[in-house]
Amino acid sequence: MAELIPVGIAGTGSYLPEKVIPNSWFEDKVETSDEWIVQRTGIKERRFVEGGQATSHMCIQAGKRALEMAGLAAEDLDLVIVGTLTPDYYLPACAALVQDGLGAKNAGAFDISAACTGFLTALQSAEAFIASGRMKRVLVLGAESLSRYLDLTDRTSCILFGDGAGAAVLGIDA
């Protein structure tokens, strides 16, 4: 068996939409209060995308920040993986939109749809590609724009979800 190559994180980044939704926003939609939400979840506020803002937009912003921290250009990437349940479209993949938006012209791209474990599954996939020697640098993103799908009459779930993106650049020389 071939020896695996050590993999590290070269840079990270994140993006949150500007629209802040405090717990009080839900009080006229469902039977709840700020105190009830904080006591049960610890959540005090969440962010929601607005208008034409999509999951890929958040990923591009988070990806730029991760690349900057890593000291890399988008052209240095071999692969872009996005873990999301809320892509912009079914086709093309959100990762392909991010790849294009960043200018990662040398990178392949694909999405992973694994719900809450999407980012971790994408991270493990990237690590396997690099450790095997098939890739050198991979941008991994986890992002959701779940606010578009919330049932604002369901108190058990509508208070839990928000929107945002996180990114990590993995590499052999990290």
Tokens 């999405």 locate to 111
pLDDT tens across 27-53, in order? 989 999 999 999 999 999 999 999 889
Q: Supply the Cα-derived Rg of the chain in whole angstroms.
A: 18
Sign of CA dihedral 39, 44, 50, 54: negative
Cα 138 to Cα 123: distance, rounded to the nearest angstrom: 9
* Predicted local confidence at residue 72, as pLDDT: 98
pLDDT tens across 120-159, in order? 999 999 999 999 999 999 999 999 999 999 999 998 999 9
